[in-house]
């Protein structure tokens, strides 16, 4: 049994096809098929139901493939540990970040971090929270940046900062006469929110204590873009809540909430044990240093990202 054979069976399980798995592993299909068969003979277990389309693992095969993922992840961490002992932050880092953070947070720290650590190879993927957590658990991502809390004993969570929610109002709205608004002011207001599956949607509805939302009585609108929500509000129907980093200094129709301000906890998540501690500490420091100081010290009431 070799690590290469374990890579092959994981690839078959992930792709559902021997041909795709071979391309992913950069070998010919006959070579991969032969190596998988040899492993099955060695183990005395049939790993895959080859007649199904796509190819599926057998019940016993599924258990062994899950363990193969653990072995491969541990082997990768061993190699990473050797590299870290040599250079500190070298190696590849696959970072997943939620779409409501990516366009606003990444420009603040990413280029500076990459310049300060040229030995690090960084890949960024925008994904929703559930995909990021799944990717971390399966070893497909190294780091996640999302809105907490995350309750999973297999994952380590580091709070980066607390980002307040602000009310985005249309021209002429009565609340614009106030310097700060209260959550109670919004409980009967028509809301524009992100589509189902975005954690920001649930947080906004919790702040406003509304079970559902739509900005117009005969329009159901689903989007993944905060900027689209702001434009819909600017057209004069409904309002929305936006995280502070998404707000430009010249936006006039924005109002802060009364203290304690509702906020989301922005967290960094890794799978335990994460051996590249120097790189992790450097990334956490870079992100915290890049955001306004007020995001770390003001009085806030954190709104959970998930039920």
Cβ atoms < 10 Å from Cβ of 6: 20
pTM for the complete prediction?
0.70
Q: Sign of the C-alpha dihedral, residues 246, 250, 252, 257?
A: positive
The three-point CA angle 48-54-58 to 5° equals: 25
pLDDT of residue 44: 95
Q: What is the pLDDT of residue 163?
A: 93
Strands 240-243 and 91-97: unpaired
Number of neighbouring beta carbons within 10 Å of residue 259: 10
Long-range pairs for 201-210 at CB < 8 Å and ≥24 separation?
A: 202/305, 202/306, 202/307, 203/147, 203/165, 203/241, 203/262, 203/264, 203/303, 203/304, 203/305, 204/165, 204/240, 204/241, 206/303, 206/304, 207/165, 207/183, 207/241, 207/262, 207/303, 208/183, 208/241, 209/183
Per-residue 3-state assignment (H helix, E strand, C coil) for 169-193: CCCCCHHHHCCEECHHHHCCCCECC
pLDDT digits (tens, 9 = 90+) for 170-195: 888 888 899 999 888 877 667 777 76
Distance CA 204, CA 239 (A): 11
Residue 76 half-sphere exposure, CB side, CA atoms within 13 Å?
Answer: 20
How confident is the model over 216-241, as pLDDT tens digits?
Answer: 443 344 556 888 888 888 887 788 88
Domains of the chain: 3-81 (1.10.10.10), 91-307 (3.40.190.290)
Q: Which residue numbers in the chain have pLDDT < 50? A: 213-221, 306-307
Helix (H) or strand (E) holding 266: strand 261-271
In this structure, the number of other CB atoms found within 10 A of the CB of residue 100 comes to 28
Other C-beta atoms lying within 10 Å of the C-beta of residue 95 = 19
């Amino acid at each position: 049994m070799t690590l290469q054979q374990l890579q092959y069976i994981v690839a078959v399980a992930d792709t559902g096809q021997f041909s795709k798995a071979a391309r992913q592993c950069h070998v010919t299909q006959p070579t991969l098929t032969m190596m998988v068969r040899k492993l099955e003979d060695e183990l005395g277990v049939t790993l895959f139901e080859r007649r199904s389309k796509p190819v599926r693992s057998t019940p016993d095969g599924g258990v062994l493939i899950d363990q193969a993922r653990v072995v491969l992840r541990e082997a990768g961490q061993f190699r990473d540990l050797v590299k870290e002992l040599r250079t500190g932050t070298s190696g590849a880092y696959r970072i997943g970040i939620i779409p409501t953070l990516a366009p606003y947070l990444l420009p603040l720290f990413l280029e500076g971090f990459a310049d300060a650590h040229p030995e690090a190879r960084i890949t960024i993927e925008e994904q929703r929270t559930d995909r990021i957590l799944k990717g971390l658990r399966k070893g497909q991502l190294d780091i996640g940046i999302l809105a907490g809390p995350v309750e999973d004993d297999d994952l380590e969570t580091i709070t980066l900062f607390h980002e307040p929610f602000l009310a985005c109002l249309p021209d002429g709205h009565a609340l614009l006469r106030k310097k700060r608004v209260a959550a109670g002011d919004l409980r009967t207001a028509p809301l524009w929110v992100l589509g189902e599956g975005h954690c920001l949607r649930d947080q906004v509805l919790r702040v406003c204590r509304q079970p559902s939302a739509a900005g117009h009585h005969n329009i159901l609108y689903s989007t993944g873009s905060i900027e689209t929500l702001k434009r819909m509000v600017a057209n004069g129907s409904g309002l929305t809540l936006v995280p502070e980093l998404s707000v430009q200094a010249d936006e006039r129709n924005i109002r802060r909430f009364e203290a304690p301000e509702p906020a989301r906890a922005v967290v960094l998540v890794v799978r335990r044990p994460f051996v590249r501690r120097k790189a992790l500490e450097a990334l956490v420091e870079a992100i915290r240093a890049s955001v306004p100081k007020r995001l770390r010290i003001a009085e806030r009431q954190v709104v959970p990202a998930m039920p």
